[in-house]
Amino acid sequence: MWSHPDGVVQRVNKKEFHAVPAELFRINWQRQMASKFSHNIVAFSIPNYMMPIAGSSGNALYNKYLEDIEKEN
């Protein structure tokens, strides 16, 4: 079984689709919830919203995520 928490993005406008990178807290919370049901977690939105190529906010989220992982290890 696979889990796909869509926590990497956060919708800004309900009338038209406009999303921005979510806060790291939200992403980690959704990962924790999903891990209760599956160890196979897929996040399709990472390339679009959580990488340096996604702009300054995507780059900032990417760096925060890397820092968070380093703290865990």
User: What are the residue boundaries of the structural domains of the chain, listed by start?
Assistant: 2-72
d(CA 19, CA 44): 14
d(CA 58, CA 48): 8
For range 6-32, the mean pLDDT: 76
For residue 2, the cross-strand partners are: 40
Give the per-residue pLDDT at 63: 93
For residue 11, the cross-strand partners are: 19
Given a cut of 70, whether residue 10 has pLDDT beyond it is no
Q: Which two tokens stand for residue 60?
A: 């900032």
Given a cut of 90, whether residue 19 has pLDDT beyond it is no
Q: What secondary structure letter does DSSP report for 16?
A: S
Residue 51: other Cβ atoms inside 10 A = 15
